[in-house]
Structures are given as C-alpha cells and as structure tokens.
Amino acid sequence: MLTKTSTADAGALVLDQPKRSGAAPKAAVKPADETSSKTSGPKAKEVRIYIDGEFFAEGDAKVSVFDHGLLYGDGIFEGIRFYNGRVFRLDDHLDRLWDSARSICLEIPISRAEMTEALLETIRQNGLQEGYIRQIVTRGVGNLGLNPVQCKRPSVIIIATTIALYPKEVCEKGLTVVTCATRRTSPAALNPAVKSLNYLNNVMARIEANLAGADEALMLNEAGNVAECTADNVFIIKRGQIFTPPIAAGALRGITRSVVFEIAAELGLKITETDITRHDVFVSDECFLSGTAAEVIPVVKADGRMIGNGKPGSITMRMIGRFRELTRETGTPIFV
C-alpha cells in the first residue's frame, strides 16, 4: 500500500542543475527549460519520493550504505517522461526494466501492476502534469562483499521531478558534440542493453565533453564505430535517408529511438541500421539525438566540423514536430 510520510515543504527537483545538500529545499526550484515551465495542474508543494511502498520527503528519503546499488552500482533504472498528464511509453519502459532485471538476475519485488500504480501515485503525490520519473531497483542491502546472494530484498525507488537537460537556445540551435576517447563498454563486458546503475562509462565520456566545452560526447565502440552518446541514440541523415547504429554496435535500445523509427515510417522515410563512422557524421546533411531526457534534438557540430549548413535540418525538424505531437497526445493517463 502507498502511504504518506512526508511533511517537509520542498520544491520539485531539477535534473542536471546544481543540487543543494542538507535539508529538503524550502521553495520550488524554477526549471530552465520550456517543458517544465509549462507544468500545470495541482501546485508542486513538496517533493515526495517513493521507497519500497512509502513516501518520504526529500531529506528523509534514504537508503542503506550497505545497499549494493550504492556499493557496486548493482541495480537497474529507467528514466521516463510524462507530458500533459500522461506517461509517455510507460509499457515500453516497464518492459525494458523487466528485461534489465532478468538479464542481471534481479527479481523486482513488486508486480508490474503494483509498479505501475506506485509510479502513477508518485506523480500524483508530487502534483505534476509534466516531468521526468527516475525509477530505480537496487539489489538491496547486503554486506561489503559483492556477492548479490547476500542481498535478500531489492529496493524500489521512484522520484518524480521536473527536468532541464539543455538550455532552451541549445535545443533550438542544436548541440555540439565531440568524440571522446572513452570507448563505450563492450557488450562482452557489460552489455549497454542493460540499463544498469553502473554508468561510470557514460559519466567518463560526459566529463570529456565538459572538458572540451561540448554539449555531448559521441561514444565509439571498440571497433571505432559510433555507438551512441552518453544518454542518447544517434541518427544521421544523408541524401534524405536516415542511418543509425545497430544495437549490436553498443547502443541502448532506446525507447525514443523506437519512436523515431515509427515517425520515420509515418513520414515515408527509411531508417537503415548500419555501422557509422566519425567520417559519416562529419559529412552528414543532418544529425540528431534521441533520448527520454533529451527528446529529439539536433546536432549541428561534431569535432569542430559543421554538420550540413550548421542549422537544424528539415527532416530533423519534421521529426521533432511529430514527436512533440505524440508526446502531448498519447500516453498512460495519470489522474484517472
């Protein structure tokens, strides 16, 4: 059963913005992006975080230091968006969560129906119509050894927040990317298809992008082909045809990626899954990224080379337009 234990007066969290430490924040943090600023419906008064069937204020939402999610990155997660009072592609995210769990032999301690209700109730408790959900299942509390046999019960954590991944002008003008030296984890080591809590590979790439002053990092696989960006799938367009790396190249099977495939089919455009090199990116007419947090976003510069004419291309803009329609018009209703 879902219970309410929160009393603190806190504001909505904002992803990718400096986080205050200590007690729960007293006022709502103003998000910088257009999506979150359109939040309507019940006022966001306090953050309520779901942990294993109970709701906590941010300052009281805690897990054990012996949780293997913390000690070893042993666990899985999903990032999910909700728009206009509906959760976008909820079933796909739950499918992927359960697939990740199965792959790492983790038994999610609640049923899919219970997970769905917990997720929707977390959004309701936070009074949000638009935002982002972080859904985490950790291996649970064990001892300092890494053997998961020690962990008797996985923990489920759900955070609903508003989101601001890139400033508005970056979304409009397009991103710059740099190729990073950090290679995407080989599927033979840790398959990127598992959305695990072990994201240090991506974090290292992100640090490289930061140091280079770029918005994102283009990650290559061990063969030197493009795998993906740190939290997004990559698409390029050449002479009206769209290309993207196959999952086997070391990309997450992105849910936004699959929406891009659907939109392309609707628009009568072909997407070919094929190995892509840096050169292919440099000489592409258009490039865009897809991801739940980033949505569909143009890339206009790669390693200092202007892509196309340096402005978001027409196919990319059509893709973004239809993507926005789908996010506003489809999804699992939250408040019924």
Ligand X SMILES: Cc1ncc(COP(=O)(O)O)c(C=O)c1O
Q: CB nearer to ligand X: give 141 or 247.
A: 247
Quickly list H helices, 233-306.
255-266, 278-282
Among 209, 220, 255, 287, which residue sits at the site for ligand X (rule: CB under 6 A)?
Answer: 255
Kind and range of the H or E run holding 290: strand 286-291
Three-state DSSP at 65 gives coil
Query: Both tokens of residue 16?
Result: 């990718």
DSSP E strands: which ranges in 141-194?
155-163, 175-179
Query: Both tokens of residue 299?
Result: 């890339």
Q: How far is the CB of 23 from ligand X (least distance, A)?
A: 30
Q: CB nearer to ligand X: give 130 or 228.
A: 228
Q: How far is the CB of 252 from ligand X (least distance, A)?
A: 4
Instruction: Tally Cβ neighbours within 10 Å of residue 115.
Output: 20
Interface stretch with ligand X, choices 98-106, 132-140, 252-260, 303-311 (CB under 6 A):
252-260
Maximum CA pair distance of the chain? 57
**Residue window 291-310: x/- pattern of binding to ligand X, with contact defined by CB under 6 A:** xx------------------
Kind and range of the H or E run holding 197: none
Binders of ligand X in range 107-136 (CB under 6 A): none
Rounded Cα distance between 20 and 29, Å, is 11
Please say whether the beta carbons of 282 and 236 come within 8 A. no
Rounded Cα distance between 29 and 248, Å, is 40
Query: Does 67 help bind ligand X (rule: CB under 6 A)?
Result: no
**Residue window 209-248: x/- pattern of binding to ligand X, with contact defined by CB under 6 A:** -------------------x--xxx---------------
Active-site choice (26, 168, 195, 270) = 195
**311 counts as catalytic:** no
Binders of ligand X in range 77-106 (CB under 6 A): 79
Q: How far is the CB of 291 from ligand X (least distance, A)?
A: 4
Q: Which residues bind ligand X (CB under 6 A)?
A: 79, 202, 228, 231-233, 252, 254-257, 290-292
Just list the catalytic residues.
195
